Amino acid sequence: WAVHAEDVAAIRQLKRDRDAIILAHNYQTPEIYHGVADIVGDSLALAREAVTAKASVIVLAGVHFMAETAKILNPGRTVLIPDARAGCSLASSITAADVADLRARHPGVPVITYVNTSAEVKAASDICCTSGNALKIVESLGVPRVIMIPDGYLARNIAARTSVEIITWEGACEVHERFTPADIAEIRAGHPGVAVVAHPECPPEVVAVADFAGSTAEMIDFVARDRPKRVALITECSMSDNVAAGFPEISFVKPCNLCPHMKRITLPGIRHALETLTHEVTVPDAIAAGARRAVDRMLAVR
Ligand code: 13P
Ligand code: SF4
């Protein structure tokens, strides 16, 4: 912490000078999550917060699609991402042309798009979803078949919980796809009684052997509600570190795969972003309008 103190102090001052707030995803490192963030949360919470943010500048401590979503929802603000290269293997797995191909192959079937996508792909979609509301969104449409892109594992995990037929796309999160049922067996053998909580971007075989599956916010809710003595959060590395700070009585087993994109965001990077007002995220009006329609439609489903 001592090495970070100067950056933390500088960032807090810069936030006041720039009338800025920092929205941080749950996978950001603890010094960002606990040290400088104004709002922390899962993708859904960050989108909801972006809609109502009053500050002139929003710094998105997360990946590019999250910053784009914030800009789409609140175009009057300056939205900054500290490292413009912070991408996502899901977002890069599909293009708007791929969505057009899917529609041509499945005429009339609505397209539900995970928020982990570019603005162009959102604009080509009917409605968005996050891992926190995917089941609700699928069932809200009242149709027998949907196309759900781009995360094939998330789509199959949702398909297991609904009678709606789901047409999938073969994108995957490079972090969660690496977890295996053998990892879970090893955790259970080494930590008797452990509650295993998996993210639905994990393969269905992993979710099948977990005690609970949910978005990063739902993982935190599970820990807060069930208060297991021991818990393993099957997700990105920083998650357990961030959550553990609030539950000193719970022992966190820390299986961990690092997201290289999330880890591009650092305290010095955030400080530089606020000093120089870079890297500004913009979305062309025509694309932003279509993307906003799909995201707004998602936010209206409660
Ligand atoms: P949630 O925080 O919405 O669960 O998303 C997880 C993730 O991988 C975001 O990149
Ligand atoms: Fe994308 Fe996975 Fe990283 Fe989230 S954790 S940003 S889904 S690669």
Domains in the chain: ranges and CATH: 2-86+263-283 (3.40.50.10800), 91-173 (3.40.50.10800), 176-258 (3.40.50.10800)
- Which pLDDT score, from 0 to 100, does residue 159 have? 98
Do 232 and 255 form a contact (C-beta atoms < 8 A)?
yes
| CA–CA distance, 211 with 208 (Å, rounded to integer) | 8
Do 95 and 287 form a contact (C-beta atoms < 8 A)?
no
- Which pLDDT score, from 0 to 100, does residue 2 have? 66
Query: Token digits for 90?
Result: 């899901």
| CA–CA distance, 36 with 30 (Å, rounded to integer) | 9
Do 59 and 39 form a contact (C-beta atoms < 8 A)?
no
User: Within the chain, which residues score under 50 in pLDDT?
Assistant: none
- Which pLDDT score, from 0 to 100, does residue 48 have? 96
17 C-alpha to ligand 2 centroid (Å) = 32
pTM as predicted: 0.97
279 is in an annotated binding site: no
Pocket of ligand 1 (CB under 6 A): 26, 42-44, 116, 130-132, 173, 201, 215-216
Query: What are the residues facing 212 on neighbouring strands?
Result: 197
Q: Whose CA is nearest to atom 4 of ligand 1?
A: 215
- For ligand 2, is residue 262 a contact (CB within 6 Å)? yes
3 is in an annotated binding site: no
Quick count: other Cβ atoms within 10 Å of Cβ 130? Answer: 22
- Which pLDDT score, from 0 to 100, does residue 273 have? 98
Hey, is 21 helix, strand or coil? strand
Quick count: other Cβ atoms within 10 Å of Cβ 133? Answer: 19
- Which pLDDT score, from 0 to 100, does residue 3 have? 77
Query: What are the residues facing 80 on neighbouring strands?
Result: 59, 280
The tens digit of pLDDT for each residue in 48-71 reads 999 999 999 999 999 999 999 999
Residue corresponding to tokens 């209206």:
300
